[in-house]
Chain A
Amino acid sequence: MNHIPMRMNSPAVRPQKMTRRAMAKQQTREKVLQAARELFIERGYEGGTIRDIAKAAGMSTGAVFASFADKNELFDAILNDDFAALLEPMQDAVVGAASARGALVGMFGAAYRAHAHQLPLILASLAASWVRTPEAERLRRESMRPIRALVLEVLERGVERGELVQRFDLRLIADLMWDLFLAGYRPAAFDGASVETQTDRLGDRIDVVLTAVKA
């Protein structure tokens, strides 16, 4: 039997409310995403065409296009899914941390670790993210929202604990932390740095920013 992973915590997947047709569409979508993911990891963004992905997924290009308008949309979906899946390990890292700094480095480190074997894919997704449509941007925001909220939460808790002083807008800081985290994928992909090095480098930049708000 072909097991297609359905993410049960994803709002789109609620069996009681979904029609059979909607479920079939969801299954097709997952199949295409999985095939695309594997193909892009194997051959890079350039190497996989919609035709190749359709073939690997065992369906027609028409079926692929029913779910995704183009390659960029496919990439966005992969990126969105990947980051949505990070929420739990990130939450775990935060819970286990002794300080705001530790929580931030921990949660971002968890992401770097999860993505270590698919950096080219992440890079291609990040590249696509710079030229996306407004609708795609909206979807991306939706999927990143819980993780970005977690960053802000870490800072707020830091202030509550008296570890950090709110001299600056916490949202400004959270946004900057997030950008520095995303920025950390690129150099690691190009110089083949280990996850530890990648995380340490981000830690250094986080320290620069946190120094401004340390109690």
Chain B
Amino acid sequence: MGVRETQKLETRRKVLEAARDLFNEIGYEETTIRAVAERAGVSVGSVFTTFASKADVLSQVMDDRVDALYRELDHVARHMRGSVIDRLCSLFAIHYDFECRRVRLFLAHIAASFSPSLDSSTVPYGRNTRFKAMIIDMLREGQTKGEVRDDADLDLILDTLMGAYAWNYRLAAAGEADHADMTIIMDRQIRLIFHGLLPR
């Protein structure tokens, strides 16, 4: 890899780290590219050769975080024990714990997903295909094990679960819940939804 390439990667890394911290410390709207560049120790110009916009920076910050999370999760998930309900509860618990470490950043990400300038794949959970795939896998396994009805619409269940997961963060936004609180609520929501999925 050439010097130019290495430098560009290094700039990218520094910018993402600085942006991640600033978005979380002072908020997304409040953070300027100039502030990010300053924190990262790079020029504003170099930020813009690597990123299309502030929204692009946020998008890539979140992608990187997801990469880090799933590197761990791919190992852990294989060893998860218990019923499909238990495993789903654990999966969401892990996500709440992870995202609440930088909750303001995650809330900014949710808010940004409502922007009409972005395409529909930029949902907090829309682009996270690995998250969705893991859930579908768990649901399918549930069908194999007789814990989930054969005729259950798995995509619909997935959407309902993801809706519940994402909107529980409004409690964090209101400053009323930490990851443990949201996990308790999600557990209850999962059991509620699953009650309807049990084989007749």
Contact = CB atoms under 8 A, between A and B. Distances in A.
B114 A208 contact: no
12 contacts: A44-B116, A130-B110, A130-B114, A134-B175, A137-B173, A168-B188, A176-B189, A180-B160, A182-B167, A186-B114, A204-B153, A212-B194
Given A208-B193, A208-B196, A209-B193, A187 B120 contact: yes
Category for how many chain A residues contact B: 35 or more
A167 interface: yes
Nearest to A119: B116
Contacts of A128: 111
A179 B111 contact: no
B160 A209 contact: yes
Most B CB atoms within 10 A — which of A46, A127, A213? A127
Interface string A97-136: 0000000000000000000000010011011111110100
B160 A205 contact: yes
Contacts, number: 98
A134 B174 contact: yes
A191 B175 CA distance: 32
A136 to B, nearest CB: 10
B192 A123 contact: no
A87 to B, nearest CB: 21
Contact of B196 (A169, A189, A211): A211
B174 A131 contact: no
A153 to B, nearest CB: 19
A183 interface: yes
Contact of A127 (B111, B160, B163, B170): B111
Nearest to A122: B114
Interface of A: 44, 46, 120, 123-124, 126-132, 134, 137, 167-169, 172-173, 176, 179-180, 182-183, 186-187, 189-191, 204-205, 208-214
B27 interface: yes
B29 interface: yes
B166 A212 contact: no
Nearest to A187: B120
A67 B72 CA distance: 49
Nearest to A190: B120
Nearest to A140: B174
B66 interface: no
Nearest to A169: B188
A147 B62 CA distance: 34
Contact of B173 (A131, A169, A190, A204): A131
A65 B153 CA distance: 50
B78 interface: no
Contact of B166 (A127, A169, A173, A183): A183
Interface string B5-46: 000000000000000000000011100000000000000000
A211 B152 CA distance: 12
Contacts of B195: 167-168, 211-213
Given A176-B189, A208-B196, A127 B115 contact: yes
Contacts of A191: 120
A213 B194 CA distance: 11
A131 B163 contact: no
Nearest to B116: A120
B159 interface: yes
Contacts of B196: 208-212, 214
The 3 closest A-B pairs by CB, nearest first: A211-B196, A127-B114, A179-B167
